[in-house]
Amino acid sequence: MRRVTWRNLFAHKLRLLLSAFAIVLGIAFLSGSLVFTDTLGRSFDQLAYGTVTDVTVRPATEAGDAVSMNINRDARSIPAEYVEKVANLPQVKQAQGAISGTGVFVVKKNNRLLGGTGAPTIGLNAGVGEPIPNAAGEQMVNWLKGTEPTKEGEIALDQRSADNAGYAVGETVKLAMPGDPPIVKAKLVGTFEFASGGLAGATLVVFDDKSAQKYFYGGEDVFSTIAVQGRAGVSQEELASAVAKVIPPGTEAVTGEKLGAESKDLFDQLLGFMNTFLLVFAGIALVVGTFLIVNTFSILVAQRSRELALLRALGASRKQVSRSVLTEAFVIGLIGSTLGLALGFGLAMALKAIFSNFGLDLSGTALVFEPRTIAAGYLVGVLVTMVAAWIPARRAARVPPVAAMRDDVAMPESSLRWRLVLAMLLGLVGAAAMAAGLWLDVPKPIIWVGAGIFGVLMAVALGSPVVAIPVLAVFGVIYRALFKAVGQLAAQNARRNPRRTAATASALMIGLALVTTMSILGASINRSIDAGVDREFSADFLVQNATAQPFSPEIATQLAAVNGVEAVAASQFIVLQIDDSDVYASAIEPVEFAKVFKLDFVSGVAPTERRTMAVSESTAEKFDLKVGDVVDLPFVTTTEPTTVTGIFADSQVVGNVVVPMRTVTDAGFQRADTALGVKIAPEAGFKTVQAALENAVADNPTVVVQDKQSFAEAQRAQVNTLLYLIYALLALAIVIAVLGIVNTLALSVIERTREIGLLRAVGLTRPQLRRMVRLESVAIAILGAVLGIGAGLIFGLALQKSFADDGITDLAIPAGSLAIFVLVSAVVGILAAVLPARRAAKLDVLDAIAGE
Amino acid sequence: MASTVAAHTVDLVKTYGKGDARVSALAGVSVDINAGEFTAIMGPSGSGKSTLMHCMAALDKPDSGQVVIGETDLSTLDDKRLTLMRRTEIGFVFQAFNLVPTLTAEENILLPLSIAGKKPDPAWYATVIEAVGLADRLGHRPNEMSGGQQQRVACARALVSRPAIVFADEPTGNLDSTSGAEVLGFLRRSVDEFNQTVVMVTHDPTAASYTDRVLFLADGVVVDELREPTSESVLAKMSSIQRSIGS
C-alpha cells in the first residue's frame, strides 16, 4: 500500500507541485511574518535594554500610559543642582544630566524633512565629562567621525541619518525645532553610531548641554532625566534607593532593569498591531490555500477512483485507502512547509527592505529565525494539508470495489442539500457574530466581526455550488450567443461539476470579498471626509503637517503677522484619559478658535476656563456625560476635576474632547501646535494670502499650507495609502486563487483527454480548443468575482453602518472599482488558462482518442 | 459509379519505434476507395489496418507516401487545414467514446457543424435523423442512451455534414449483435440511399458482410481483396491469410 502511495506522488509531480504551492505561499507568509516581527522585536529589545543606565532619575508619572505620554510631551524637568547631589553619593561613580526632546527634525538638502512619517527624531544633549555606559557596562555610542558638539552652533548626528540627509562633517545642517526659533542652523561636527545595533530608523541629534537646555527648556539650567552609573559592586536596587534619598519630590529613581522593561512593553504594544495585521493576512492565505488543496485532492481522488476501487477489490481496507490519501497529503504538507519556510525567510528580508524604505531601518539586526517559527510552519502546513485531504480521503474510502469493473465511475458525493443546510447554519451563526460585534456591547468587537465575516465567507463557499448553477446558466446563454459551439462547450464544462467549479471559484471569492469590503470602506471614508470637510472646513487655510507631528508655536505668531490674515487658531493634539481609556483631545485657544472654526454645540457652551472641557456627542454617549458633570482627568503630575461645559456634534476638526490650551500647559504638558486654522480678512485676496502664507513657512518644511481642497486630498491620500497596502497583501490571496484555477483546469484537461481528442477529431481547431479552456476559466473566475463582490457588498455595508458613529457617516459604493474587479477577474481567468489550454492543445489526437 | 475514386493512398509507409523494437505498421500501401461504396478493411491484429485508417482520416501522419481525399493531398496540409479537412470532408465513428457527455444527442450530432459555425441543411438533417431512428431521443444525454443508440448518434453526426468519406473504426466492437446490426444496417443504407462513401475497420466477418468490398491487410501491405463478401467467404479468406503469414 505504501508503495502505491509513493508511486502516485511521483507520477503526478506537476499536480503535487501546484497543490503544494498553495501551502508554500501560506506558510511563507506565516513564517515571514513571524521572522520579521521577531526581528523587529529583537531590534527594539536591543534599543530598550541597550540604552538604559544603572539608574535613571525622572519625573514621576501620574497618567500611567507611556504611549499617550509620548504624544503629550512632558514639560517637567529636574534642576541641575541635583545632578551634583546624586554624583556626590558614595555609591555613585558618575551622574550626568540628560535631555531628550522630540519635535526636532533634520531638514534634508532638498528642504524636506528626514524621516517624517517613520521613526522619531530625538534631540539629546552631549553631557559633560566621560560618557556613562549602559547598565551592561558598554559604551552606548561609538564616535565614527569628528567630535562631540561643545558649543552652540554645533551638532552631531547618527551616521545613518547624516548619510540619508546628505550631510558630511563640517557642513551646515538645517533643523526644524519645536520651540523658538523654529529653524536652527548648526555645523555638523561629528557622527556616531549606536553600539547596541540599529536605531530602528530613529534619528538622533546631539547638542551641547547649553543649547539643548535653550531649545527644549527655554534656557533654564535643568535636565529631563539624570543618568547614574553605580560604583562596582553596587546593585541597581541599592543604587536606586540611595539616589532616591537626595532627589526632589515629584521625581523617582528607576533601575535600568525596570526602565528597559517599560520601554520594551511600550514597543511591544506598538508592534503588536503590526504582528496581528501580518498574521491576519497569513491566515487569509492559509484559508484560501486550504480550499485549493481540498479541491486538488477531490479531483485527484475522483480521477483515481477506478484505481482505488481496484485496490479495494484486491483486498485493501477502507482504512488503507484513506490512509494512502492522507499519507500523500502529509508528504505534500511537509514539502510545502519546507519550501514555505525558505520562501518566508526571503519574504522577511523583503519586508525588512520595504520597511527600511518607510524609515524603519533594521539593518543593525540580523533576521531572527526562532525554533518556534519552524515548528509553527511545519505544524500549520502539515495540519492544514491533512485536514484539507481528510474529506476527499474519506470519500475515496467509500468507493465500492465493484466500481473497478465499471466503465465510468461516479464518486459517491454527499448531497447538496446537507451542504446547503450547513451553509445556512454557518451563515446565520456568522451573521449573528457579526451583528453582535457591530451592535452589541461585547468585549473585543473586532474579533466578533472578524469571526463573523469568516463564518459568512465559509457559508458562501459551502453554498456556492448551489449559487453557481444559475450563475453558470447565465454564462451558458451569453457564451452561446457570443462564441457559438465553443462557448457552449466551455459553459457546459464549467457546469459539469458545479461543486468543483464553485470550490475553485471560492478561493477567488474570499480574496475579492475582502478587497470589495475594503474598497467600500475606503470609498465611504473618502466620501465622509469630503462631506465632513464641506461641512466643517470653515477656515480658509489649515497649516499642519501630514503626520500630526507637533511644531513650534512660533509659526502661529509668524502667520498671524502675515498681511490679510484675520485670525489664526492654534490647536494641539493630545491624549487624555476618561475612565482609564484613551480619548483624543484638542487643546485650543478658545477665543481665537471661535473666530476660525464653528463647533456645533448640541448643548452647553465652549470651555474657556481652566478645568473645563467640551466633549463630542459620541464621547458623551460612550461615557454617559452631560453638561455640568465633573470628570477626573489625569495629567502628568496631577488629576484635575474637570467640568463638562458643552457637548458638540462630532467633528473632524477637533478630537473628541476640547480643552482650553491653558488647562494642559498648567498641568505640565509642553506646548507645541499640531494644527493652525487661518481665517483671512474679508477684503484680502485668497490667492495673495495663500502665497504670503506659503512664503512665510517656505523655510520650514515641518508644516504645509492647505486650502479646503488640498486638505481633503491629503486626507484621502492617507486613506488610499492604507488601502493600497491592504490590496497588495490581499493580492496574495488572489495569486493563490489563480493557482487554484490553474490546478483545476489542468486536472480537468487530463480528465477529459478522450473528449478533447474526440472534439479535435471532429474538427475543433487548436485555437478553438484553447478558447474553450479559456472561456471555462473565465467563467470560474467571474463566478468567484460575483460571489466575492456580493459578499463584500454585504460586509462593506455592515461595517459602514457600524462605523457611522465613528466618522464614516456616508456610504459610497465604488461601482467603477467593482467593475474593474470583475474585469481583473476575467483577466485572471484568461491568465490561469494559459498553461492548461496549451497543454490541451498539445494533446495528440490519436493518443487522446485511444485514452488509457 | 464505382469508377470514381473518393480517396486513395500511394505507397504509404509508417513505422513505430526504433532499432529492435521497430515495427512496420504500413509498408507501402496503395489503395483506392471508390466513391459510393462501403469498404471494409480487415486483417489480423498488428496488420496495420487501424494505422491505415488513421492516416487516411487525417488523424495520423505517414512517414512517407500520399493520402488523397477527393482532390486534396493531405501531406501538403498543416494542422489547421487538416482540422478543417476533418471538419468538412471526413466523418468519424469510433469504437467507443464517440459523444461529448455534456451535450444532448442533437447537440452531438450538430457538433461538427456548430464548431464550423454552420447551420445544417434542414431537409438533410431530417433525413438523417429519420434514417437513424432517433427522433424521440434527441434531447437525451449520452449517459441516458444505450450503447447502440450512442453509436447511431455517432453515425448521424458523421453523416450530417455530408462529408466526402466516413471512417468507422470497429463501430460495433462494443455492441451486442442486435445493436451492432442496427448500426451496420444504417451505414449500409447511407451508402445505398445517400450514395455515401464509407470505410470501416473491423475484424468481425459478419460486419464485413454488410460491405461491398473487403481489403485484407497483413504485415503492413494489402494482401488480398474480396468483392460482394459474405461472412463465409470473408472467414475463409481470413483463415487462408492467417495460414500464409503463419507459415
CA distance B242 to B233: 14
- CA neighbor of A684 nearest in space, from A696, A693, A675, A676: A693
* pLDDT number for residue A64: 46
Residue B203 CB partners (closer than 8 Å, separation 6+): B42, B43, B44, B45, B170
The mean pLDDT of A137-150, rounded to a whole number, is 85
Percent over 90 (pLDDT), chain A:
11
Strand partners, A237: none
pLDDT digits (tens, 9 = 90+) for A292-306: 777 777 777 777 777
d(CA B66, CA A358): 71
Q: Which residues of A touch B115 (CB under 8 A)?
A: 485-486, 759, 762-764, 768
Looking at the predicted structure, is the pLDDT value of residue A404 above 60?
Answer: no
Q: Which pLDDT score, from 0 to 100, does residue A778 have? A: 93
Is the Cβ pair B102, A495 closer than 8 Å?
Answer: yes
Vertex A507: Cα angle to A505 and A512 (nearest 5):
90
Greater pLDDT, A584 or B213 = B213
Distances (CA, A) of A485 to A248, A326, A433, A771, B102: 92, 41, 47, 11, 12
| Range A185-195 average pLDDT | 87
Q: Where do the DSSP E strands lie in A297-390?
A: none
In Å, how far is A449's CA from the nearest CA of chain B? 43
Q: Which residue has the cell 438523417?
A: B128
Contact criterion met (CB < 8 Å) for A846 and B112: no
Calculated CA dihedral for residues A238, A239, A245, A247, nearest 10 degrees: -160
Instruction: Return the residue matching grid coordinates 493512398.
Output: B9
Q: Which residues of chain A have a CB within 8 Å of the CB of B100?
A: 489, 755, 758-759
- Range among A479-493, A551-565, A676-690, B207-221 with highest mean pLDDT value: B207-221
- Cα angle A564-A569-A570, degrees, rounded to a multiple of 5: 125
- Average pLDDT of span A742-760: 84
Q: Examine the pLDDT at A789 and tell me if it is beyond 90.
A: yes
Point out the least confidently predicted range of A122-136, A336-350, A503-517, B155-169. Answer: A122-136
pLDDT, residue A841, reads 87
Q: Is the pLDDT score of A679 beyond 50? A: yes
Query: Could you give the angle at the alpha carbon of A780 between the alpha carbons of A774 and A785, nearest 5°?
Result: 120
Mean pLDDT, range A86-104, rounded to an integer: 87
Distance CA B89, CA B161 (A): 8
Distance (Å, whole) CA A230 – CA A94:
7
Mean residue pLDDT of chain B comes to 87
Do residues A555 and A544 make contact, with C-beta atoms less than 8 angstroms apart?
Answer: no
Query: For chain B, how many residues are written?
Result: 247
A744 confidence band (pLDDT: 50, 70, 90): confident
Q: Do A484 and B94 touch (CB under 8 A)?
A: no
Report DSSP state, residue B245.
H
- Number of domains chain B is built from: 1
Above 60 in pLDDT, residue A714?
yes
**Is A758 in Cβ contact with B98 (below 8 Å)?**
yes
Over residues A115-136, the mean pLDDT reads: 76
What is the C-alpha to C-alpha distance for residues B79 and B84, in angstroms, rounded to an integer? 9
A852 falls in which pLDDT band (50, 70, 90)? very low
In the prediction, which pLDDT does A155 show? 92
pLDDT score for B210: 93
Are B92 and A492 inside 8 Å of each other by CB? no
CATH no. for residue B165? 3.40.50.300
Q: Tell me, what amino acid is at A551? A: F
Cell numbers given for A331: 508528504
In this predicted structure, what is the pLDDT of residue A850?
Answer: 63
Question: Is A758–B101 a contact, with Cβ atoms under 8 angstroms apart?
Answer: no
**What is the pLDDT at residue A652?**
74
Query: Which residues on chain A place their C-beta less than 8 Å from a C-beta of chain B?
Result: 408, 484-486, 488-489, 492-493, 495-496, 754-755, 758-766, 768, 845-846, 849, 851
Residue A223: closest CA among A309, A291, A126 = A126
Q: Please give the Cα distance from A106 to A93 (Å, whole number).
A: 35
* 3 state SS of B166: strand
B226: containing domain? 5-246
Alpha helices in A624-765 (DSSP H): 661-666, 686-696, 708-751, 753-761
Specify the pLDDT at position A1. 60
Alpha helices, DSSP H only, in A441-497?
445-496
Compute the average pLDDT of residues A614-631.
Answer: 89
Contact residues, chain B, for A759 at CB < 8 Å: 100, 111, 115
Q: Band of the pLDDT at A68, cuts 50, 70, 90?
A: very low
C-alpha torsion angle, residues A283, A284, A287, A291 (rounded to 10): -160
Q: For residue A458, what are the contacts with CB-CB under 8 A and spacing of at least 6?
A: A426, A430
Q: Hey, what amino acid is at A381?
A: G
| Residue partners of A245: CB distance under 8 A and separation at least 6 | none
Q: What is the pLDDT of residues B46-76, one digit of tens each?
A: 888 888 988 998 888 889 999 999 888 988 8
Cβ atoms of A298 and A500 within 8 Å: the answer is yes
What integer pLDDT is reported at residue B2 of this predicted model?
A: 45
Given a contact cutoff of 8 angstroms between Cβ atoms, the answer to whether A725 and B61 are in contact is no
Mean pLDDT over the full length of chain A: 82
Who has greater pLDDT, A71 or A481? A481
The radius of gyration of chain B's CA atoms, rounded to the nearest angstrom, is: 18
ipTM surpasses 0.95 = no
pTM, full prediction: 0.74
Interface of B with A (CB under 8 A): 54, 59-60, 79-80, 83-84, 86-88, 92, 94, 97-103, 107, 111-112, 114-117, 143, 157
Q: How far apart are CA A590 and CA A257, in angstroms?
A: 44
User: What is the DSSP secondary structure assignment for residue B201, as one 8-state letter?
Assistant: E
By C-alpha distance, the chain A residue nearest B50 is A846
A63 pLDDT exceeds 70?
A: no
The CA-based angle B182-B183-B189, given to 5 degrees, is: 90
**A480, A762, A765, A770, best to mutate vs chain B, most B CBs in 10 Å:** A762
Q: Which residues of B touch A495 (CB under 8 A)?
A: 102
